[in-house]
Homo-oligomer: A and B are copies of this chain.
Amino acid sequence: MNLPGQPAKQGARSLDPHLRRYAARTAGMTASEIRALFAVASRPEVVSLAGGMPHLAALPLDSLSVEIGDLIAQDGLVALQYGSAHGVPELREQICDVMALEGINGHPDDVVVTVGSQMGLDMVTRIFCDPGDVVLAEGPSYVGALGSFSAYQAQVVHVAMDADGLVPAALQEAVLAVEKAGQRVKFLYTIPNFHNPAGVTLAVRRRAEVLEICRRHGILVVEDNPYGLLGFDGTTYPALRSTDPDNVVYLGSFSKTFAAGLRVGWVLAPHAVREKLVLAAESATLCPPTLNQLIVSRYLSTHDWKGQIKTYREAYRERRDAAISALEQHMPVGSTWNKPNGGFYVWLTVPEGVDTKAMLPRAITQRVAYASGTGFYADGLGSRQLRISYCYPTPERIREGVRRLANVIKDEMELHETFGPTTARAISGPQNPSPDTA
């Protein structure tokens, strides 16, 4: 098994006859650590706390089977045909209904359907970022976003978070520092609700402040909100987009509220930006799959989709509880974590001296996988953090996984006491997203 950065891998690379042909942007493309270990990490005996895969077992597959079969029989000539890059009009209207739950008053014309919100992110970066442009993002931030920013050679400047999310004073400071350095901020990328990977939510009182800072400095806000409807106490926070429609580009997704494998997401953008997004999307995929859009549209009109979200919410709350109680029971002194009120993730800080990236292969040997913190930073931080995803395994497996993880950490601490700090491999910057860390 070759880990990134090891000699065997580099040797293999130097044999690539196409090496001198690649674009400069490929230099930033590296695989996530967990993917390098995927063959082992995906064995059934390994409890994976690494992946962001939704709990699909909660879906009504039988009735979906009937609806989708009927869709092909009735509307197959449309479902299997090319559509527009803008997206199916009826679905765009329904998407506006979904967004209304977060206080957004959007027009269907300003919605662009994308192949998952990852494509939305990629398209937004495509139309805004020249190489060297700065993107502000929470530190840590979503690994897939860092991958897109890197693909367009944008430079990420992280902004600190605390238990109430992005810190406005830190944002202000970061903006001034970038301006002082003569660089150009293109947008603030933020995940306000149930953050991936940090699990925190931007306090409502901070939202106006964040928007105001961005407005004052002429910085666009890109609001990524895949988890907003998954608040465990049923609270839905007002979207940033709801109060500043002209300066916020909103990214949404059905991956977490319905089904990830359909890859249906969307962007809601100011009108002029929307036109550019459609053109960018045409050159990227011509159009999103028509079938998938019609499936989501039919699902929204024939199923109790709000009830389904409630079902998901309850399942994730149960899993969150399992993770938190196991952390409380097993983690060694010196570890800290947050208790998320929604979404999929706990962000864990391990005791000093433990390196989560160096520890990962040993954890997998001990039959537990996680996403190490370094993948969520563009600047090399995160080696004392890791992300626990509680979305997919059963509560019982989560408890077992956390117990194993605690033992691995304790072993590392012993090693550290005996031999000094473990050595991390060279930091490789942002990693690529993949379903196992997304």
A-to-B contact residues, CB < 8 Å: 12-13, 15-19, 21-26, 29-31, 51-54, 56-57, 59, 61-62, 64-66, 68-70, 72-73, 76-85, 115-116, 118-119, 122, 126-130, 133, 144, 147-148, 150-152, 186-187, 220, 246, 255, 259-263, 270, 272-273, 276, 279-280, 282-292, 295, 432-435, 438
Identify which of B22, B30, B73, B285 contacts A65 (C-beta below 8 A): B73
Q: How many copies does the complex hold?
A: 2
- Write out the residue numbers on chain B whose beta carbons fall within 8 Å of the beta carbon of A65: 69-70, 72-73, 76
Report if A61-B84 is in contact (Cβ < 8 Å); known contacts: A126-B151, A127-B22, A262-B289.
no
Known: A21-B187, A23-B129. 10 other contacts (CB 8 A): A12-B272, A19-B272, A29-B276, A64-B76, A79-B261, A81-B259, A116-B285, A147-B282, A151-B283, A263-B287
List of B residues within 8 angstroms of A26 by Cβ: 127, 276, 279-280
Contacts of A273 in B (CB 8 A): 16, 18
A270 to chain B minimum Cβ distance, whole angstroms, is: 7
Give the distance to chain B from A154, nearest Cβ to Cβ, in Å. 9
Are B82 and A61 in contact, with the CB atoms below 8 A? Answer: no
29 A-B pairs whose Cβ atoms sit less than 8 Å apart in the complex? A17-B246, A17-B270, A17-B272, A18-B270, A19-B272, A22-B127, A22-B128, A23-B152, A26-B127, A26-B280, A29-B276, A51-B82, A56-B76, A61-B73, A61-B77, A65-B72, A68-B72, A69-B72, A78-B261, A81-B260, A116-B285, A116-B286, A118-B283, A118-B284, A122-B283, A148-B284, A263-B286, A282-B432, A287-B435
CB pair A433–B282 under 8 Å, yes or no, is yes
- Specify which chain B residues have a CB less than 8 angstroms from the CB of A53 in the assembled complex: 81-82
Kindly report which residue of chain B lies nearest to residue A12, judged by CB atoms.
Answer: B272
Known interface pairs A57-B77, A65-B69, A147-B283; A83-B435 also in contact (CB < 8 Å)? yes
Rounded to whole angstroms, the CA-CA distance of A273 and B78 in the bound complex is 35
Q: Is the CB of A283 within 8 A of B144?
A: yes
- Shortest distance from the beta carbon of A417 to any chain B beta carbon, whole Å: 38
Q: Is B291 touching A262 in the complex (CB atoms < 8 A)?
A: yes
Interface contact B291-A434, CB-CB below 8 Å: no
How far is it, in angstroms, between the C-alpha of A180 and the C-alpha of B83 when the chains are bound?
A: 43
